[in-house]
Every structure is written in structure tokens, then in C-alpha cells.
Amino acid sequence: MDNLNFLFAAYTAVWVLLFLYVLSLARRNRSLSKEIEELRELLQRRTQP
Amino acid sequence: MRKSIDAILPPATLLVMLGAIYMVFVYVPTDKVQGIVQRIFYFHVPLAIMTFLAFGTVAVASVLFLWRGTRTWDRVAHAAAEVGMLFCTLVLITGPIWARPVWGTWWTWDARLTTTLILWLIYAAYLMLRSISGGDQGARYAAVLGVVGAVDIPIINRSVYWWRTIHPAVLVTREGGSGLSDPRMQSTLGICFLAFFLLFVWLTWVRNENMRLTDEAEVLRQRALGQA
């Protein structure tokens, strides 16, 4: 197969970059959800008599 | 609404993307002239069109933000710019990989390639501006850049007609000329368009949600500091 390495390189680049971006979004979302949860608990504790 | 989007969009995108991969690697016939590297087109072209859609979304959302002043439109513009930047980067990577065996060079200062690189630089500047200047004023400056930058999109589209260029102009001709004349090639390209459209919507949605959570966390942080 001629130029199979070029095809492989192009699709690898697409999948690697997309995967890294999705991974970074998932990480950010997880850490933000955790922080929001902690802040809500903190505020709730403070407002309780 | 939010939960149903989160439940439907990711599996739908994955399903269509798997179908697109199957069609690109198994179903579609190999191009007689370019050989196997022509299959790069099935991702390269939809990525380019979705780049235009993403930066077009930035422009429209920026206009609405400047007009209405609502943070929601600013978030949509910012999220679409980030996804557009990712897609534009992939266009600029996959293009030269295709060009090397077909044109014999990785890069040439062809009108379409150059104007696409300019588009990448404009929105790189947009994202840099967003990261260094926060607040309402920074968002407004970025919105203006987001609108002005979109002027490059029709220039890229028409560049193959306005200037002498070696970039392919059309993929499917009504006259049955050069391009994707095989119906299997056309249907594969259609499915790839759908896959990348869903991917664009999903990624923009997730990034938008991410920014909404950032805003919510900031409000809670301020409230917690105020109570301390």
C-alpha cells in the first residue's frame, strides 16, 4: 500500500488531539464539580446555627 | 434539558463517528489517481467546514453578546472559539500530510493555505486575549476580534477562485467533472460531515458547561469569602 504511513499519521494526529482535548475537558469538569460541591457544603455549614 | 443533551449527544456522536470510520476505511473505494492518501479528505474537509461553522458561531455569539451584554453569549463564543481552534489546527496538520505525497511538498504559500493559517492566527490571538484580559472589558475586546476575524472565512472560501492556487476547488461537480464522482465517496463524505457536526456541537456544549461551572464556582467562592 503506497503512502499508508501518511494516512496513518493524519488519522493518528486527529485522534490523539481530539482525545487529549476531551480528556482535559472531562478533568476540568470533574475538578470544578468537586470544588462546587465542597463550597456548597462549606456555605451550608456556616449558615447552620 | 441539560441531562437529556448529556445523555443523547455523546453516544450519538460516537455512533456516527464509528460509522464514518468504517466507511472511510472499509466501504469507500480507493481513489484511482491519488491512491490511499485521498482518504485523508474525508476528515480534512469536514474539519475545515466545521472550523468555519465554529468561527461563524463565535462571530454571531459575539455580536449577540455586544448587543445584549449577556454572559451566556460570551460563553458560547469562547467555547466555539476553542473548539474551532482545535479543528483548525487539525486542518493545518492533515492538509500538509495529504499534500506531501500528492504535491511533493508539506507546505506552499498557496492562497487557501495562507488564508487558513491567518484564520488560525486570528483566533489564537482571540484565545490569548481571553486568557490575559478577564472581566467585561476583556470579553468585549475579544468579541470585537471574534467578529472581525470571521471576515477571513468567505475569503478562504473564495480564495481558490480569486487567486491562482493549486488547492482543489470543489469536491463534487454537477457536471460530473473532477472530484468525488463515485456515490460511495459522496455518501462517506456526507456521514463524515454529520459526525464532525455532532462532534462540534458536543464539544462546544461540554466546554460551555465547563465555563458555566467556572462562573458558578467563582460566585460560591466570593460568597464564602464574604462570610469569612
Q: What is the ipTM of this complex?
A: 0.89
pLDDT for the residue A48 = 76
DSSP conformational letter for B40:
G
Answer yes or no: do A32 and B207 touch at CB < 8 A: no
Per-residue pLDDT, B119:
97
- When divided into structural domains, chain B yields a total of 1
Look at residues B148, B137, B139 and name the one whose alpha carbon lies nearest to residue B74.
Answer: B139
Q: What does the pLDDT read at residue B135?
A: 81
pLDDT in tens, B116-159: 999 999 999 999 999 998 788 889 999 999 999 999 999 999 98
Contact criterion met (CB below 8 Å) for B85 and B123: yes
Q: Does the residue B219 lie in any domain?
A: yes
Which residues from B are below 8 Å from A4, CB to CB?
A: 36
Residue contact A29–B199, C-beta within 8 A: no
| Total H helices, total E strands in chain B | 7, 0
In a domain, B24, yes or no: no
Minimal C-alpha gap between B20 and chain A (Å): 13
Is the Cβ of B37 closer than 8 Å to some Cβ of chain A? yes
pLDDT value for B172:
54
Tell me, what's the pLDDT at B166? 78
Q: What is the mean predicted confidence (pLDDT) over A29-34?
A: 94
Q: Which of B36, B40, B43 sits opposite A2 (nearest CB)?
A: B36
Whole-model pTM? 0.91
The type of residue at B170 is V
Q: What would the pLDDT profile of B5-20 be if each residue is shown by its tens digit?
A: 888 999 999 999 999 9
**Quick check: B208 and B76 in contact, CB under 8 A?**
yes
pLDDT higher at B31 or A11: A11
Q: What is the pLDDT of residue B176?
A: 46
In angstroms, how far is the first alpha carbon of chain B from the final one?
A: 36
Does B97 contact chain A (CB < 8 Å)? yes
Is the CB of residue B55 less than 8 Å from the CB of residue B81?
Answer: yes
Of all residues in chain A, the one with the smallest CA distance to B106 is A6
State the average pLDDT over residues A25-48. Answer: 91
Domain limits at B153? 39-161+180-227
Query: Within chain B, which residues score under 50 in pLDDT?
Result: 176-178
